[in-house]
Structure 1
Amino acid sequence: MDTILKFTSHHQGKDRVFRATQFACALSTYLLRTNTDRTKLLSTLKTLEANLNAGRKVFRLGNTINSIQAAKRSLQLSDRVLCLCLTAAHVNRALYFFCDNVLWAKSVGLIRDTNKVSWSTGASRCFLLTLIGSLARDIYVVLQLMVQRARDGHFRQKMIRHLNESPQVAEVIVPHLDAFLFLLLESLKSHPAVVLDTVKNFCDLFSPLDKLGIYPSNSGVVSLCGLVSSVIGIITYVNPSLSIKP
């Protein structure tokens, strides 16, 4: 109970719960869209989704500054690759939140002479670039883990035993693929934080790709991926040990 109270007392925790609920509503709406007997329920779900989206925009009002501070911290990293990936991700995240704030101000009437479509497109582009930077970091970390694992003498012996047990046909058809997959899985097995972050960022990709028309998807796919990403976000927030660092 203390964990739940602590979780909901922070605005980030509330935002993640709202996000998960928002995507759950969107997914339910998609699944029930052809059910004529659930018209009232569909209307309720759409209203709830819209209200949750509006509420989340309020929670995100100060996130631009937080992202700028995060970008400053990432500049201090000694690893140049991590520095580049994370700084780019944080800067684009700051720009995304700025666009999001402008859209919120437009929706409540604080700003009038604003092209909503242009700002929405800009927000999607910044979000996409943020995810690309984050995924680049994830891939870099995975490669580092694989290199470290491959240098381990005990692991090399384990891999040799595994390859000796593999069918000869598979080795001929797909050379080295079995060894690569074995190394990848063994490297990630003891690093769930990397796996969760990679899955989360990959799932988030579908939303900006769809909005920008780069890879169109239906609302069901976007909602499902958003829900998976949101659940992972809640898990990593409740259990910080599952959150990737830096």
Structure 2
Amino acid sequence: MDAFIRFTNQSQGRDRLFRATQHACMLLRYLLESRAGKEAVVMKLKSLESSVSTGRKWFRLGNVVHAIQATEQSIQVTDLVPRLCLTLANLNRMVYYICDTVLWVKSVGLTSGVNREKWQMWATRHYYYFLLLSLARDLYEILLQMERVARDRAKREKSSRDPPGYSVVTEDTDWLQSFLLLLFQSLKRHPPLLLDTVKNLCDILIPLNQLGIYKSNLGVVGLGGLVSSVAGLITIVYPQLKLKTH
């Protein structure tokens, strides 16, 4: 099992690279579609996007094993909220990969008795649930970080010899400005949390569009997927920037 996980781990970086290429093609196609004389380029981008999307399915075949392992690990998390969010998220991710594997079997012609539209809808729905739960975990972690920053600031102000008006956030400061400043300081202090939140926010644009919950154009989906893929690549190249589970 460990050998298999190490092998499939090597494909995660390639999958992220392919995903970035796929969404870059989508974004470029959107930008060029309205321009005259770019029809041939648009068709080539569309063909490349389709080929890359098909190739990515090979890299995802073993991911159901990672989802099972991640579910087992999330059950051991001590904090109740992250444990609940991560466990349910990983269960939905596991179902998503199962659906994705069935769709791959259908696409290569190994079976003809698969309703592609139904399985695609199931896959998209469980991917959406996975991202919602992941964002709920991110929100919880952000609130914890904001609480720590606010507590540290209060301690500094209490021990400081400067007058009360010296604080960056005074009583006259607008509450929204105070909140945004606290949010900025919290995410600046915790880059892995920032990366994970940005990645999940960008990713959720895809199922929102596919499920018809919030329709976006091809450019928005392509840009969101590209940003998410780059964030994912960063966490693979620099593992210390991956959000850890405690």
TM-score (ref. length: structure 1): 0.89
Deviations 1:167-221 (CA, angstroms, capped at 9, x unpaired): x4xx4xx5x3333222222222111111111011001111000000010111111
Give the deviation of 1:155 after TM superposition: 6.2
Q: State the one-letter code of the partner of 1:227.
A: L
- Is 1:109 matched with 2:72? no
The whole-number CA distance in structure 2 between the counterparts of 1:234 and 1:23 is 14
In the other structure, the counterpart of 1:49 is 49
3-state SS of paired residue (1:151): helix
3-state SS of paired residue (2:37): helix
Instruction: Note the aligned Cα RMSD (angstroms).
Output: 1.8
Q: State the one-letter code of the partner of 1:154.
A: R
In the other structure, the counterpart of 2:223 is 224
Q: State the one-letter code of the partner of 1:135.
A: L
The whole-number CA distance in structure 2 between the counterparts of 1:67 and 1:155 is 45
Q: State the one-letter code of the partner of 2:167.
A: R
* Map 1:127-146 → 2, pairs under 5 A: 127-146=127-146
* Map 1:119-130 → 2, pairs under 5 A: 119-130=119-130
- 8 Å Cα contact 2:32-2:38 kept in structure 1: yes
Where in structure 1 are there 5+ consecutive unaligned residues? 1-8
1:160–1:124 Cα change, 3 Å: farther
In the other structure, the counterpart of 2:168 is 162
Deviations 1:137-194 (CA, angstroms, capped at 9, x unpaired): 1011111111122222116769961123x8x4xx4xx5x3333222222222111111
* Map 1:1-246 → 2, pairs under 5 A: 10-152=10-152, 153-154=155-156, 161-164=167-170, 168=172, 171=173, 174=174, 176-246=175-245
Where in structure 2 are there 5+ consecutive unaligned residues? 1-8
Q: State the one-letter code of the partner of 2:127.
A: F
Q: State the one-letter code of the partner of 2:217.
A: N
The whole-number CA distance in structure 1 between the counterparts of 2:79 and 2:10 is 31
Give the deviation of 1:75 after TM superposition: 0.3
Give the deviation of 1:223 after TM superposition: 0.6
- Percent of counterpart pairs with the same letter? 48
